[in-house]
Chain A
Amino acid sequence: MTSGARSRESRLLIPRSVRRNWDLYLLIFPVVLYFVLLKYLPMYGIQLAFKDFSAVKGFWDSSWVGFKHFDRFFNNYQFWTLIRNTLGISFYQILVAFPLPIIFALLINEVQSQRFRKSVQSITFMPHFLSTVVLVGIVMAFLSPSTGLVNNIIVRLGGDPIYFMTEPSLFKSIYVFSDVWQNMGFASVLYVAVLAGVDKSLYEAAMIDGATKLQRLLHIAIPALIPTAIIMLIFQFGSIMDIGFEKIYLMQNDLNRSASSVISTYVYEIGLLGSQFSFSTAVGLFNSLINFILIIAVNQIAKRVSGTSLW
């Protein structure tokens, strides 16, 4: 085949619109390459969950062992502790940190003074920009039994200092409420934006009908937020098992471990520190699958119940 014939053939195979826009494909190419190499290629490694990884044999040639690692995990004495802690922190987080930004946004929406509104928003945004390391550093400094501000106040009021960071029963609360302090303002922006988009004539009509502010809140503002809130809730459920490694790992210490061991920190410990690659891959995969199923299930439920869904 001559080169002329080949190029004529390729011209036939590739549609004219594609050839004309060749540089558009050049633009997207690095992005596709990124996803293939850095996101999809690692999925190839998931097979380790069903193999006994041997560094000598590599990914492909290590021998298959079926569900051995999953069995081991389900029968592990830590299994239920890990599940309980992971779900416990997640549900606590959803219960507290999900509704608060909505309520906060509704309050902001009631403020007429633009200046007051702006200052509330700018100030409550600020902690969002602190890093997780700094946030946990602040929490530890403030809760320190000997020199921390909180215990200082407790002692002044006649109480005994509380060892916050080493007390397992307080771990979840510290985790959730420090998150509320850091992120409530930022999380509310979305809802404030939605409320700002509500048709003003609805409010005017309600005022003419003599509705009180509280009635307007209940019958106009809250219904307007529901679709957005549902979407955010689906996202939250989708990451229930993914409860942030970064912050928990930093807050963790030997004394609070019974409350702070979650699946992600466990995978890190046995996988990276303990080099049990196959076993930890299985644990991680179990975690991802639950997440995946949860987000699909919650999405379906939301679709059924409210007509709002991600897809």
Chain B
Amino acid sequence: MNHLGHKSAGDRIYDIVIYTILTLIMLGTLYPLIYIVSASLSNPWAIVKGELWLLPKDISLDAYRKVFQNPDIWTGYRNSILYLVVGTTINVVMTTMGAYALSRRDLVGRHVLVLLFTFTLLFNGGLIPTFLIYKNVLGLYNNLWVMVIPSAVSVWNLIVMRTYFQTSIPYELQEAAFIDGCSNIRTLTRIVLPLSMPIIAVMTMYYAVAHWNAYFMALIYLNDDWRMPLQMVIRNLLIQQDMGGLVGGQGESLVEQLLLTEGVKYAVIVVSSLPMLLLYPLVQKHFVKGVMMGAIKG
């Protein structure tokens, strides 16, 4: 007979199996990431000769020097930060406005609106009609606003935030404000928003990551190099392997250039991913909450 707190032999084996599997999964996730950082800090010879396994070998900062000397990377960085800041601000403001209105049971037609919004998840104009309308009717082609306007509101986030307003902010508080003569907008800014910081943090994070990682709109709609976000710049470097401009010049031989390319690849990955990976621990606990709130609705 089992007693609470006492483990049978079977249960103990079960525990060992589970901890082992999870540890392996953790290492499997972590190893490529560590390898990338190590490779970016190593002498490229070590990578090419296959001598690099875990920790950096013959530490060298040449790759980073090359990356930071590249004007395209800086342009991309500047553009991406701009799109992220402007875009995320629009996202959070619009989502808050819409979600608050939808959270109010006295908003006439809110069911129709939610239906109208969610329908766009199931069906859309498709790439080409959207492209032609954006270009010819809305004038978004090669226009910086294309990086922020078409993604201004995510239906999913709108619904998550509405659910938060409905379930986490006591309606009595808002009623009290109305009795004191507050308008709806004033109630939103003075009563509801101060209580909604967790969800706003989650939304900011969701939207910011999406902006930072986006390349599709730039690929389709932007033409000029000086408007390109970082993702497009690193696409040229990593995927199309167009590194000539980055490693060339300054009197290195072809072999040296090819070697440098190896290290530069990894440095580019680190430099472009670091901002989001650093941001993530800050909002991590909210993040999980955000997914759960989505789950309530889903």
Check if B255 is an interface residue, CB within 8 A of chain A. no
Q: Is the CB of A31 within 8 A of B125?
A: no
Q: Which residues of B contact A190 (CB under 8 A)?
A: 291-292, 294-295
Check if B158 is an interface residue, CB within 8 A of chain A. yes
Q: Which residues of B contact A126 (CB under 8 A)?
A: 29, 33, 277, 280
CA distance A207 to B11 in the complex (A): 12
- In A1-52, the 8 Å CB interface with B consists of 15, 17-18, 21, 23-28, 30-32, 34-35, 37-46, 48
Q: Is the CB of A246 within 8 A of B216?
A: yes
CA distance A132 to B238 in the complex (A): 12
Which one, A70-78, A90-98, A166-174, A208-216, is touching chain B? Answer: A208-216
Check if A231 is an interface residue, CB within 8 A of chain B. yes
B 232-244 to A, binary, CB cutoff 8 A, 1 in contact else 0: 0011001100000
Which one, A81-89, A254-262, A287-295, is touching chain B? Answer: A287-295
Q: Given that A193-B288, A284-B127 are contacting pairs, would A134 and B47 also be in contact in the complex, using a CB cutoff of 8 Å?
A: no
Q: Which residues of B contact A149 (CB under 8 A)?
A: 35
A208 to chain B: closest residue by CB: B4
Q: Which residues of A contact B131 (CB under 8 A)?
A: 271-272
Q: Is the CB of A43 within 8 A of B138?
A: no
Q: Is the CB of A155 within 8 A of B129?
A: no
Q: Is the CB of A31 within 8 A of B123?
A: no
**Residues of A within 8 Å of B, CB-based: how many?**
95
CA distance A35 to B264 in the complex (A): 42
Check if B107 is an interface residue, CB within 8 A of chain A. yes
Which one, B67-75, B113-121, B246-254, is touching chain A? Answer: B113-121
- In A207-228, the 8 Å CB interface with B consists of 207-208, 210, 212-214, 228
Q: Is the CB of A277 within 8 A of B29?
A: no
Which one, B20-28, B55-63, B81-89, B196-204, is touching chain A? Answer: B20-28
A37 to chain B: closest residue by CB: B138
Q: Given that A129-B280, A277-B132 are contacting pairs, would A213 and B11 also be in contact in the complex, using a CB cutoff of 8 Å?
A: yes
In the complex, which of the residues B107, B124, B276 contacts A39, with contact meaning CB atoms closer than 8 Å?
B124
Interface of A is mostly: helix
A 50-72 to B, binary, CB cutoff 8 A, 1 in contact else 0: 00000000010000000000000
Q: Is the CB of A193 within 8 A of B276?
A: no
Check if A302 is an interface residue, CB within 8 A of chain B. no
In the complex, which of the residues B47, B100, B130, B269 contacts A138, with contact meaning CB atoms closer than 8 Å?
B269
Check if B149 is an interface residue, CB within 8 A of chain A. yes
Q: Which residues of B contact A43 (CB under 8 A)?
A: 123-125, 129
**Residues of B within 8 Å of A, CB-based: how many?**
93
Q: Which residues of A contact B282 (CB under 8 A)?
A: none
Q: Which residues of B contact A284 (CB under 8 A)?
A: 126-129
CA distance A116 to B19 in the complex (A): 9
Q: Which residues of A contact B10 (CB under 8 A)?
A: 212-214
CA distance A6 to B97 in the complex (A): 31
Check if A127 is an interface residue, CB within 8 A of chain B. yes
Task: Tell me the smallest distance from the CB of B51 to a CB of chain A, in Å.
Answer: 9
Q: Which residues of A contact B231 (CB under 8 A)?
A: 131, 133
CA distance A295 to B254 in the complex (A): 54
Check if B1 is an interface residue, CB within 8 A of chain A. yes
- Most B-side CB within 10 Å, residue of A28, A125, A291: A28
CA distance A133 to B268 in the complex (A): 11
CA distance A38 to B215 in the complex (A): 19
Q: Is the CB of B288 within 8 A of A124?
A: no
Q: Is the CB of A35 within 8 A of B117?
A: yes
In the complex, which of the residues B8, B116, B129 contacts A281, with contact meaning CB atoms closer than 8 Å?
B129
Q: Which residues of B contact A31 (CB under 8 A)?
A: 94, 97-98, 101, 117, 153, 158
Q: Is the CB of A27 within 8 A of B100?
A: yes
Task: Tell me the smallest distance from the CB of B93 to a CB of chain A, in Å.
Answer: 9
B231 to chain A: closest residue by CB: A133
B 1-20 to A, binary, CB cutoff 8 A, 1 in contact else 0: 11010001011001100110
Q: Which residues of A contact B238 (CB under 8 A)?
A: 133-134, 136-137, 140-141
19 extra interface residue pairs, beta carbon distance < 8 Å, beyond A129-B277, A133-B234: A21-B106, A21-B184, A26-B185, A32-B113, A34-B94, A34-B152, A34-B153, A120-B25, A126-B29, A126-B280, A136-B238, A141-B269, A189-B288, A193-B295, A207-B2, A228-B295, A281-B129, A287-B126, A288-B124
**A-B complex: 9 closest residue pairs judged by Cβ atoms:** A45-B129, A42-B125, A137-B238, A284-B126, A131-B213, A31-B98, A28-B101, A152-B50, A42-B130
